Amino acid sequence: MNDDPGLFEGLNDRSREVFRRVVESYLNNGDPVGSRTLTRSMSEQVSAATIRNVMQDLEYMGLLGSPHVSAGRIPTEKGLRMFVDGFLEVDDMTLQDRESIDATLGKNGSDVGAMLDNIGSALSGVTHGASLVLTPKHEAPIKHIEFVSLAADRALVVLVFGDGHVENRVFTPPPGQTPSSMREAANFLNALAEGRTLSELSGVIETEIGLRRREIDGLAKELVESGLAVWESGSEISEGSERLIVRGRSNLLDSQSEEDLARIRTLFDDLERKRDIAEFLELTETGEGVRIFIGSENKLFSLSGSSLVVSPYMNADRKIIGAVGVIGPTRLNYGRIVPIVDYTAQLVGKLISDRS
């Protein structure tokens, strides 16, 4: 994801070592690194003045920054991206970490939601960060759909699945809805829904609205499309059927600077609103494996300047159905977290495939 791959090749050995040591020190302790500190760890004997010149060059290139006038340097988001792409050494997952994740196996029987909740808790415990688990959509065929008005600006859509599972989703309907338009929208959907899963239904609604424009009035059409947006995003799902499980928020509050705490509070606000859940899954759909989003690269939580390490998981048909990840300040231990997220995603995919 580095937008300037030639930058890495343009660095000489000394510049690369200075850059690498600054970033590694920052990831370890979060403090700016000064030239005198680096003179004690460099592989060759160089003066502090020489290192200062190198650091100034790296700052000019946008790879390092100085939080205060007289302070040492820390990596910028651009620098962290180059470090992850060009210098990051991914550690092997430790036996202790693997056993902590594996300990969730066998719990809660056939309850997938409870299993994923436990895995999320284990993932946050192992990484000492906040874990995110996007659960699969319920894929049983739909039996019945109904809209219920709760207030002028609130409505409930009830989804009854063929296996007996029921989901109630609260959303904001288009203005002007009437009992008649709600019945018409429900009848229209029920005629299409029989024998189809939610994903399959979502795929045919837009086409059918176009083909059967005269059979459904404007209010009912808007209600159907509004309901579809709620199903696709997973937002405002009722208690007990949340799709985005967040565990370990308190881990983010440990040993943070005031500046970091302000960002964490913004991140908490985003997580509480479960903003853009559908986009969270879209982050993983460009391919298999772990992806790392740093700061503003992370369009979901960019205001908080957070980093996200995320990987999709798949069902038995090799279809992406959810994702697991770890989120926190940009000063994450990427080399340790990447294999943990990768292993957890593969484990979740296998468990769900076995259960299906």
Asked if 335 and 150 touch (Cβ cutoff 8 Å), the reply is no
Asked if 198 and 321 touch (Cβ cutoff 8 Å), the reply is no
CATH number at residue 271: 3.30.450.40
CATH number at residue 82: 1.10.10.10
255 in the same domain as 206? no
The pLDDT score that the predictor gives to residue 106 is 63
Place of tokens 């309850």: 111
Residue 339 pLDDT greater than 50, yes or no: yes
71 in the same domain as 22? yes
Q: At which of 87, 105, 123 does a domain end?
A: 87
Asked if 294 and 80 touch (Cβ cutoff 8 Å), the reply is yes
226 in the same domain as 195? yes
Nearest alpha-carbon partner for 301 in 52, 130, 59: 130
Number of domains comprising the chain: 3
Q: At which of 53, 69, 87 does a domain end?
A: 87
Residue 70 pLDDT class (50, 70, 90 cuts) = low
Place of tokens 């874990």: 131
298-305 contacts, C-beta under 8 A, 24 or more apart: 300/270, 300/275, 300/276, 301/267, 301/270, 301/271, 301/327, 303/266, 303/270, 304/263, 304/264, 304/266, 304/267, 304/270, 305/263, 305/329, 305/330
Name the amino acid, one letter, at 93: M
Q: At which of 87, 112, 128 does a domain end?
A: 87
229 in the same domain as 105? no
316 in the same domain as 266? yes
Percent of the chain at pLDDT > 90 equals: 26
Over residues 20-49, mean pLDDT: 89
288 in the same domain as 260? yes
210 in the same domain as 258? no
- Domain coverage including residue 11: 5-87
In degrees and rounded to multiples of 5, residue 112 shows phi and psi of -65, -40
* Angle of helix 198-211 versus helix 218-233 axis, rounded to 10: 150
211 in the same domain as 66? no
Residue 96 pLDDT class (50, 70, 90 cuts) = very high
Dump pLDDT digits (tens) for 290-328. Answer: 989 898 887 766 667 788 899 999 888 888 888 899 988
3 state SS of 246:
strand
Highest-pLDDT range among 22-26, 102-106, 207-211, 280-284: 22-26
257 in the same domain as 188? no
Asked if 57 and 304 touch (Cβ cutoff 8 Å), the reply is no
Residue 248 pLDDT greater than 80, yes or no: yes
The Cβ of residue 28 has, within 10 Å, a number of other Cβ atoms equal to 10
Higher per-residue confidence, 228 vs 138: 138
DSSP 180: H
156 in the same domain as 18? no
272 in the same domain as 316? yes
131 in the same domain as 252? yes
